[in-house]
């Protein structure tokens, strides 16, 4: 689950009870929670859609989208390599905060729930 620092800024686009933390609390193991600093959910979109999203939700249009998109892609690849390809060492890039290139406000990794 990925949360963002801007997730609860007003106007909040999170529906109460359906935010990333709620889903994380109900997820089965293994599970990883990362709350990313500075970025919001609008930032996962391409720049044109981000501009539209920022009209409704809090978004900083000056942030580096390329770095954030690379981070998101890296998370997906690490999980796929680990759980589909069996390369469990690739999870190091998800569970070791020192190897995560984006500033995190919160990070949790549960192997046993």
Output the DSSP codes for 86-111. --GGGGHHHH-GGG-SS-EEEEEEES
Please give the pLDDT value at position 61: 79
pLDDT (average), residues 40-66: 82
Beta-carbon count within 10 A of 17 CB: 6
Structural domain tally of the chain? Answer: 1
Closest Cα partner for 4 from 58, 75, 47? 58
Asked if residue 23 has pLDDT above 80, the reply is: no
- In the prediction, which pLDDT does 7 show? 60
User: Percent of the chain having pLDDT more than 90?
Assistant: 3
What residue numbers bound the domain in which 105 lies? 2-110
Which of 88, 108, 113, 86 is closest to 96 using CA atoms?
108
Q: What is the pLDDT of residue 5?
A: 54
- pLDDT exceeds cutoff 70 at 3: no
On whether the pTM is more than 0.85, the answer is no
């Amino acid at each position: 689950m990925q949360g963002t620092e801007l997730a609860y800024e007003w106007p909040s686009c999170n529906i109460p009870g359906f935010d990333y933390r709620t889903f994380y609390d109900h997820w089965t193991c293994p599970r990883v929670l990362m709350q990313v600093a500075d970025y919001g959910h609008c930032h996962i979109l391409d720049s044109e859609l981000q501009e539209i999203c920022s009209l409704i939700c809090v978004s900083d249009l000056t942030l580096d989208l390329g770095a954030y998109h690379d981070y998101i892609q890296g998370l997906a690849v690490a999980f796929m390599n680990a759980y589909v390809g069996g390369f469990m060492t690739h999870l190091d890039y998800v569970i070791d905060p020192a190897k995560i290139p984006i500033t995190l406000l919160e990070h949790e990794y549960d192997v046993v729930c």
